[in-house]
Chain A
């Protein structure tokens, strides 16, 4: 079933309930969003869009964006969500790779002017007629989304996700996070990525309310909104929560105490911050989950219930399976590649042979992990990010987790740098607390020496002001490695 059908059902059930609230406080009921999305569907159909057509959406977080999103899903189009800050070359690549005719944006931008097929979000949307209800969600196209991976290490790949994949994820999260129609979520997550989008699918299925912020900016105001609007759910990235916990812990504790839960995803979170969150919000359930665009929400944990497993990302979500190494002889207590299977799994990448990414129906994630005897998974990094010190291998994540325990380290990222003796050497980029210098560098390296094998201890520490990361919170390691080239 088309996930936009869930929205139609909810709009029929609770038409007057607020679905979306914008950052300026403007509220939109389910009935109003349904009306606007139907009007946009009419506009899009007039440009020739229909079932199975691929349409690019490139919007910042906004109410208009979700109207466009729903309107295009009503027509059974397959949507390609491209971050509105993407470079024109990326949009052109996606457009060419997926043979897309139409792309929708909120406004014209000079650098995109040469790309044909633009449909502007109209200022006079209300003047377009609503598409008849009987023509919505025909069920003629099982494919819902094609999400392009960042391509930080190669050519971007279009991850195909069906309505069935997304419906499974909605059911799964609803079950393990115990979300219901009374919940009110405040999201600062980019709705160009699956983490934020999937939460929106859940809320429109259950009849909840979503407060949309374009990004995590003006944190004091956002924290005040948590208490003023009696928000119950506040999902975020580890980097975002780290900023809040570092700089606004008292405000977070004061305004966040009514939160039913927080959910973290996208990257590992340092133990120190997990403990801090549990201490600050003792009555809030703190969920972490692990997944990829190809296999969203594959494992989860509620740290309140498993305080002895804070380094893990939990056990498989309902309906999914994970193993390490090989499906036939899975590893326990030893590192290996994480494999995932389940109804949430992509059926492959658009326009390419996806068979190398699958083995016996299991998806090869490219992530390294360890499953303990209790079945809890610990994420250890990317297989391709491994640093090779003259044959001895390590992942950046294991060094980064140690670095983050040091009092002088506000943030960090580890990469392999060139070394004339060993091929590669461990280099740490550190955002310092306090005055950086040789004394701090030696102190941090000595600290690492007490917790890591010597070959894993950074031989060099580069102090920088900020770790470059993607919007999804992933470290841009290539960008850091480039700084090491003489």
Chain B
């Protein structure tokens, strides 16, 4: 697992209290019960602190999965495993 994946996984485990195996691109608010609107805000704040990138409000509301978070960060040259 790349360092950025590790960082994002740890962040999501801490905020969403998910198990490591739930860290999969397709998982999101529909499959992770703790992923509510407040968690969304905490994820955005956590991403900013961990990756030094501040999501726009539009990006925040468009997040439907862990894969979406990675996609946004990749578009700003932050690399993740494929």
Note all chain B residues with C-beta closer than 8 A to A449: 17, 34
- Identity of the chain A residue whose Cβ is nearest the Cβ of B41 in the assembled complex: A421
**Contact code string B30-43 (vs A, CB < 8 Å = 1, else 0):** 00011010100110
With A and B bound together, what is the CA distance between A445 and B36 in angstroms? 17
The answer, yes or no, to whether A152 is at the interface (CB within 8 Å) is no
With A and B bound together, what is the CA distance between A390 and B41 in angstroms? 13
Partner of A454, one of B13, B36, B41: B36
Contact of A454 with B42 at beta-carbon distance under 8 Å, contacts A442-B14, A446-B17 already known: no
With A and B bound together, what is the CA distance between A457 and B18 in angstroms? 13
The A/B interface has a contact count, at CB < 8 Å, of 19
Note all chain A residues with C-beta closer than 8 A to B34: 449, 454
Query: What is the size category of the interface that chain A forms with chain B?
Result: 10 to 19
Contact between chains at B38 and A390 (CB < 8 Å): yes
With A and B bound together, what is the CA distance between A421 and B38 in angstroms? 8
Chain A facing B: main interface SS: helix
Contact between chains at B42 and A442 (CB < 8 Å): no
Note all chain A residues with C-beta closer than 8 A to B36: 454
**Contact code string A439-450 (vs B, CB < 8 Å = 1, else 0):** 000100110010
In the complex, chain B residues 29-58 whose Cβ is within 8 Å of any chain A Cβ: 33-34, 36, 38, 41-42, 45
With A and B bound together, what is the CA distance between A442 and B17 in angstroms? 7
Contact between chains at A422 and B38 (CB < 8 Å): yes
Note all chain B residues with C-beta closer than 8 A to A457: 17
With A and B bound together, what is the CA distance between A446 and B34 in angstroms? 11
Contact between chains at B38 and A442 (CB < 8 Å): no
With A and B bound together, what is the CA distance between A363 and B17 in angstroms? 43
Number of chain B residues whose Cβ lies closer than 8 Å to a Cβ of chain A: 10
CB distance from A86 to the nearest CB of B (A): 42
With A and B bound together, what is the CA distance between A442 and B11 in angstroms? 11
With A and B bound together, what is the CA distance between A422 and B45 in angstroms? 13
CB distance from B61 to the nearest CB of A (A): 15
Note all chain B residues with C-beta closer than 8 A to A421: 38, 41-42, 45
- Identity of the chain A residue whose Cβ is nearest the Cβ of B14 in the assembled complex: A442
With A and B bound together, what is the CA distance between A421 and B45 in angstroms? 10
Note all chain B residues with C-beta closer than 8 A to A442: 13-14, 17
With A and B bound together, what is the CA distance between A449 and B14 in angstroms? 12
Note all chain A residues with C-beta closer than 8 A to B13: 442
With A and B bound together, what is the CA distance between A418 and B62 in angstroms? 28
With A and B bound together, what is the CA distance between A143 and B37 in angstroms? 57
Contact between chains at A445 and B17 (CB < 8 Å): yes
Note all chain A residues with C-beta closer than 8 A to B14: 442
Note all chain A residues with C-beta closer than 8 A to B45: 421
Note all chain B residues with C-beta closer than 8 A to A446: 17
CB distance from B19 to the nearest CB of A (A): 8
**Contact code string B6-18 (vs A, CB < 8 Å = 1, else 0):** 0000000110010
Note all chain A residues with C-beta closer than 8 A to B42: 421, 459
With A and B bound together, what is the CA distance between A390 and B38 in angstroms? 10
CB distance from A35 to the nearest CB of B (A): 66
CB distance from B33 to the nearest CB of A (A): 8
- Identity of the chain A residue whose Cβ is nearest the Cβ of B42 in the assembled complex: A421
In the complex, chain A residues 411-434 whose Cβ is within 8 Å of any chain B Cβ: 421-422
Which among B14, B17, B33 has the greatest number of chain A C-beta atoms within 10 A? B17
Note all chain A residues with C-beta closer than 8 A to B41: 421
With A and B bound together, what is the CA distance between A457 and B42 in angstroms? 14
In the complex, chain A residues 430-472 whose Cβ is within 8 Å of any chain B Cβ: 442, 445-446, 449, 454-455, 457, 459
Task: Provide 17 A-B residue pairs closer than 8 Å at the C-beta atoms, listed in order of the A residue.
Answer: A390-B38, A421-B38, A421-B41, A421-B45, A422-B38, A442-B13, A442-B14, A442-B17, A445-B17, A446-B17, A449-B17, A449-B34, A454-B33, A454-B36, A455-B38, A457-B17, A459-B42
Which residues of B approach A to under 8 Å, CB–CB? 13-14, 17, 33-34, 36, 38, 41-42, 45
Q: A421-B41, A445-B17, A459-B42 are in contact. List 16 more A-B contacts (CB 8 A).
A: A390-B38, A421-B38, A421-B42, A421-B45, A422-B38, A442-B13, A442-B14, A442-B17, A446-B17, A449-B17, A449-B34, A454-B33, A454-B34, A454-B36, A455-B38, A457-B17
Task: Give me the 3 closest cross-chain CB pairs, A-B, nearest first.
Answer: A449-B17, A446-B17, A421-B41
